[in-house]
Amino acid sequence: MTDHPGPPGTGDPPEETHRRPVRPYVITRGRSQPTRNTLRPETLLIATDPDRRLPPSAAVEQRRFLDVCRGLLSLSEAAEALRLPISVAAVVASDLVDAGHLTLRSNPPSSASDPTLLRALLDGLRRL
Amino acid sequence: MVSADSDLPSPAPSPAEPRRPAYVDDAVTRSAKLLVAGSFGVGKTTFISSVSEIRPLCTEAPMTTLSIGTDRLDGLDGKRTTTVAMDFGRITLLPRTAPPIVLYLFGTPGQQRFWNVWQGHGLASGAAGALVLVDTRRLGDSFEVLDQLETRVPDLPIAVAVNVFPDSPPHALATVHRKLDLLPHTPITSCVATRRDSSRDALVTLVEHALARSLEGGAS
């Protein structure tokens, strides 16, 4: 499998990286995967401290992302507000979480079938 | 056409300043997710619009897999790089015995070629269930969506809602259940996706089923 080299230093890229528009991956410095896999479209995010400044080296997308996340918002909504593909937004958010600028208000893992959650959803829906 | 569906990719957004979004109530401590699946034009966007507290949004996700096969509505054939629209909506729920929960609804076309995108974005994982909208005027369009859900996420609770259009022929739900070859326990209901209370009731049917499945041990 030497006829299919990826860009230097990226190992074996998934086939979908071919012909991908370039610009969003400049934002993510070439990465297509966030450093954590707990970020989902519905994951709630909020700036840890809206007054805390990013370092001067921070990318403009990181600044914008943090600015949009002054209030509680899901990853999908932040991506849409910034007009970023959700996969790109996940990478930007992940970096901000790692650096302590962004906080996840996340769900316990594997909670989607938790009867307590489902009962609460049901009650909430019936009260709409 | 009462129920428009905007699975079409929207025009490329202009590079502008970020919109100021409508924030989630700060009392919300957790989110949940349901999928609203169905073939093109079945009314997913209409359904989501009718119950969502925010304008349904379209996040463009890059789709770089070659479009294999044809899709008569989207005009994507032959393009190697395109985007796929992901409609979603939001409902803040106020259960009496639990803190507020924000429920997200994600519209998913469900055709095979979209699944790599959805799975890559964690769309299906963590969902509490999927509501499959069907149109009795073109039931055959729903088979692929149901097949994909049953194959890719076999543990995901599914309910089917017949979206009733003004010119839909009358069908007994039991007949539709049989024609779609649904599993015996899969509930089927009907709804008018333009009506909020009707869409809400369809979601109740789905979550009731998810709860029943959960209490019986989660086995399908």
What ipTM was assigned to the predicted interfaces of this complex? 0.81
SS (H, E, C) chain A: CCCCCCCCCCCCCCHHHCCCCCHHHHHCCCCCCCCCCCCCCCCEEEECCCCCCCCCCCCHHHHHHHHHCCCEEEHHHHHHHHCCCHHHHHHHHHHHHHCCCEEEECCCCCCCCCHHHHHHHHHHHHCC
Burial of B116 (0-12, 13-18, 19+ CB in 10 A): middle
pLDDT digits (tens, 9 = 90+) for B141-169: 999 999 989 888 899 999 999 999 988 88
Give the pLDDT score at A77: 94
B26 contacts A121? CB cut-off 8 A:
no
**Cα–Cα distances in angstroms (integers) from residue B85 to residues A70, A109, B60, B208, in the given order:** 26, 27, 5, 29
Tell me the pairing of strands B30-37 and B101-108. Answer: parallel
Nearest CA in chain A to B21: A81
Instruction: Spell out which residues of chain B touch residue A122, defining contact as CB-CB under 8 Å.
Output: 204, 207-208, 211
The DSSP output letter for B201 is: H
pTM: 0.80
**Nearest CA distance, B63 vs chain A (angstrom):** 8
**Nearest CA distance, A14 vs chain B (angstrom):** 11
Poorest-pLDDT segment among B37-46, B60-69, B105-114: B60-69
**Cα–Cα distances in angstroms (integers) from residue B170 to residues B61, B64, B167, in the given order:** 38, 41, 9
Poorest-pLDDT segment among A10-19, A109-118, B196-205: A10-19
The verdict on A44 touching B (C-beta cutoff 8 Å) is yes
Asked if residue B11 has pLDDT above 80, the reply is no
Bridge partners of residue B154, in order along the sequence: none
The DSSP output letter for B198 is: H
Nearest CA in chain A to B30: A107
Q: How high is the mean pLDDT of chain B? A: 81
Percent of chain A with pLDDT over 90: 47
A81 contacts B20? CB cut-off 8 A:
yes
Burial of B82 (0-12, 13-18, 19+ CB in 10 A): middle
Instruction: Spell out which residues of chain A touch residue B106, defining contact as CB-CB under 8 Å.
Output: 41-42, 76
Percent of chain B with pLDDT over 70: 72
**C-alpha span between B133 and B160 (Å, rounded):** 6
| Residue A83 Ramachandran class (φ > 0 left, ψ -120 to 50 alpha, else beta) | left
Cβ-contact B98, A128 below 8 angstroms: no
Instruction: Spell out which residues of chain B touch residue A105, defining contact as CB-CB under 8 Å.
Output: 28-31
**Cα–Cα distances in angstroms (integers) from residue A28 to residues A39, A105, B87, B124, B125, in the given order:** 15, 23, 24, 24, 24
**C-alpha span between B191 and B199 (Å, rounded):** 6
Among A24, A44, A112, the residue with its CB nearest the CB of B126 is A112
Among B19, B62, B64, the residue with its CB nearest the CB of A81 is B19
B19 contacts A122? CB cut-off 8 A:
no
Instruction: Spell out which residues of chain A touch residue B30, defining contact as CB-CB under 8 Å.
Output: 44, 105, 107, 111, 117
> Which structure tokens are listed for B79?
């393009």
Give the pLDDT score at A26: 54
Cβ-contact B37, B149 below 8 angstroms: yes
